[in-house]
Each structure stands twice: as structure tokens, then as C-alpha cells.
Amino acid sequence: MKGITLYTPAKINLSLDVTGRLPDGNHTLETIMQSVSLYDIVTVEKRQSGIAVHCEHPYVPNDRRNIAYKAAEAFFSCCPEKGGAHISIRKNIPVSSGMAGGSTNAAGVLKGLNQLYGNVLSEARILELARSLGADVAFCVEGGTQLARGIGDILTQLPDLVNVEVVLVKPPFPISTPWVYKQLDLNRLGERPDTSGLINAITEMDLQGIASRMRNVLESVSVDKYPELREIMDRFLEYGALASRMSGSGPTIFGIFEESKKAEAAKEQFLKDYRDVFHVKTIGRGEQVEW
């Protein structure tokens, strides 16, 4: 096999709680991450040596700064066989949106290269490399529905929550994740998620129970600074969403729906004001299509 194409999915956070701050400035989290059916298309081809990345998106670098490049470097640093890779990325996941676009590309490159090179690395080793690239990369290796704790890197697979109707709206301004964490006042987080209650609701596939328990404490910073985010959430409820929340540190806001028709209608309404609007579904682990 010379090349492989992977559809690498985005994620949303069904809940996000910050449980503490470490002496090194990092925060400890408790978050439930969920893969959704919005995919970047990543093609990985074998070369004799060297790594090259090609992506036409204006905000995505084509060099070492690309996290997909770093993933390939990490792979070859452990691969017993000498080799190289050409990686091309077609972005559908908005950049800097809180949907882990870069991380899912990196996870795809690790898995794609491992397949191309005859599964030389164990799954555990791939996960270890992913973790060294970032907590979200580790989540993206398996995807599905997972609880992340620690600094986001201690992962527990939960029962797959599949086929839930989700609409994503990404407003056209960026929000810096480090900025959000810097502003965060741990004594004023607002409503915290009931993570164990949410896990029970996921296990029972109780969509109402899930909707009523979704919370993201980072909204206390991002929504405060950008009131437009609150307006989008309110609009979601007006359009019949069971609940609406921010993904990660934003700016993407998502709504979950019981009916596809209502979700589609909400998408049409948002498209009048926003360009990056997607009607997707939640997907299970390993649902990363390969060609």
C-alpha cells in the first residue's frame, strides 16, 4: 500500500469542568468529549524520506508548525523502518474553533502511517505518541464518547452516543484558548456540570437527561466577553434545540435536537447570518472512514 485517505472527525464537548490549577499553570479538567460527523480529509502517502505537508487553508501552516507534520515526525522517531511521508489535508473543520481540527488530523496521520508501514507500532504506543502531541490528539485516536480527566489526557471510553442530531455554528471571530484559561476565576465558575449524572444519562441514551446536564464552565469567560455567543444559544432554544452549549473554549456553539427536521431548519436560519454552520450527527469510536 502506497497511500491512504482518512476522514478525521471533529469533536464537541458535551460538558467541560475545570477542577483545579496545577503549579505549572496547567488546569485539571473533567470533560466529556464527543466525535461528530464533520470531517477533514487527510491523505497520507509513503515517501522514501522526508516529511511534506500540503494544506490550502490560509491559516494552516505547511511546515513543521503543522501538527500533522509533528505527528509524522513522532511516528518516524519510533518506527524501526526508515521512511517519509507526504500528507495532504483538506479542511472542512473550521480552524481555531474549539473542535480539535488540528488534533484530529494528527491522530489520523499517526494511524495512517502505522497502517502504511505494516502496523509496526502497537495501539498503546500510538496512543502514547498522540498524548505527547496533545490531550485532544489522544482523544481523537479512538474518538466516540470519552471522559477526559487530568490535564485532559486521562481518558475513559464511555458507551458510544450515536446519531444525535447536532447543529454547529462557528462565529467569525477567534478565541484564544490560553487567554480563556488565564481569565478563568476558579472561584466563580458559574454552574458546574454534573459529570456522573451526564455519564448515567449517556449510558441510558436519555437525550433529555443529557441535554439538561450539559454545562461548560469556560462559558463564564468566553460568553461574558462575546455576548453574541449567548444570543446564538438563545436562538438555538427558540429553534427547538433541547440544549445549546459552547464547545471547548469556543467560539463554536452547538445545539442538540431530537428531530432531524428541526435541526435542518435551525441550520437554515443560522445560515442567514453565519457562513460556518453544519448539521451533523454524533458518531461512535473508530468511525473514521478510510479509503
Chain contacts with ligand ATP (rule: CB under 6 A): 59-61, 65-68, 89, 95-103, 105, 136, 177, 248
Contact of 229 with 219, CB cutoff 8 Å: yes
Nearest distance from C-beta of residue 21 to ligand ATP, angstroms: 18
Nearest distance from C-beta of residue 140 to ligand ATP, angstroms: 9
Identity of the amino acid at 63: D
Q: What is the DSSP letter of 274?
A: -
Q: Which is nearer to ligand ATP, 131 or 262 (CB)?
A: 131
Which residue has the CB atom at the shortest distance from ligand ATP?
102
**Separation between Cα atoms, residue 69 and residue 81, nearest integer Å:** 18
Q: Which is nearer to ligand ATP, 53 or 232 (CB)?
A: 53
**Separation between Cα atoms, residue 43 and residue 2, nearest integer Å:** 11
Nearest distance from C-beta of residue 17 to ligand ATP, angstroms: 16
Nearest distance from C-beta of residue 258 to ligand ATP, angstroms: 26
**Separation between Cα atoms, residue 251 and residue 92, nearest integer Å:** 16
Identity of the amino acid at 37: S
By annotation, the residues acting in catalysis are 11, 136
Q: Which is nearer to ligand ATP, 12 or 167 (CB)?
A: 12
The C-alpha cell at 271 is 445560515
Q: Which is nearer to ligand ATP, 54 or 261 (CB)?
A: 54
The C-alpha cell at 112 is 495512517
In 129-287, DSSP assigns E strands to 145-149, 154-157, 165-170, 243-246, 253-257, 276-281
